[in-house]
A = this chain, B = another copy of it.
Amino acid sequence: MRTRDENKEQAIRTKAVEMVVRDGFDGLSMQKLAKAAGVSPATIYIYFKDKEDLIIQVCHQLSARMADATLADFDPDMHFDEGLRRQWLNRARYCLENPVEMHFLEQIRYSPFNEKCHSKTDMRFRNAMKRFVHNAIDRGELQRLPVEVYWSVAFAPLYQLVKFHMSGRGLADAPFEMTEETIDRTLEVVLRGLKP
């Protein structure tokens, strides 16, 4: 029998992400996607059940990649300051190196697709984070806080910086670029708030 051309599936996935980022969800049509990926419309349905399945599969793939990138060189038993910095740098680097994928995931996160895209990978990732936090609390490196409070303070500022960076503009519509210096300065403030 004829063998699958994996390049075609990946072309479909890649172009789908690009189209959603450029034109929004209503700009993603199966026929235009097929043309962009250099493939017949019917071919898409060999790899994906339907349009929704395509979006969900792409979402899972990208989420897993991002989770992996975030956990690189990270150990839940690290000192809190070091571990948090490692994660900030990992996340920042991933976002800067994959702006389109990042944009796609954010667009998913705030759309009705969000509920359908919860994966088990997220669970593995969350458990690592949970252990990291409890270690830090036990060692007196971190205040005892409700986990949602901790998360909000520890990560939301980073993602806001990333958002500024990706839009290219800061608050007063002034050009903005997120440097490692910016990251460290912000992290300094956050850590001071979180310390016991």
Residues of A within 8 A of B (CB): 21-28, 103, 106-107, 109-113, 126, 129-130, 143, 145-149, 151-153, 155-161, 164, 170-172, 176, 182, 185-186, 189-194
Contact = CB atoms under 8 A, between A and B. Distances in A.
A177 B152 CA distance: 14
A185 to B, nearest CB: 6
Contact of A193 (B23, B24, B146, B193): B193
Contacts of A143: 189
A148 B130 contact: no
B148 A153 contact: no
A108 to B, nearest CB: 9
State the number of copies, please: 2
A148 B126 contact: no
Contacts of A25: 24-26, 111
Given A109-B110, A143-B189, A148-B164, 15 more contacts: A126-B171, A129-B171, A130-B171, A145-B185, A148-B182, A149-B161, A149-B182, A149-B185, A151-B160, A152-B161, A153-B189, A156-B160, A189-B194, A192-B192, A192-B193
Contacts of A182: 146, 148-149
Contacts of A109: 110
A145 B193 contact: no
Contact of A24 (B113, B160, B192): B113
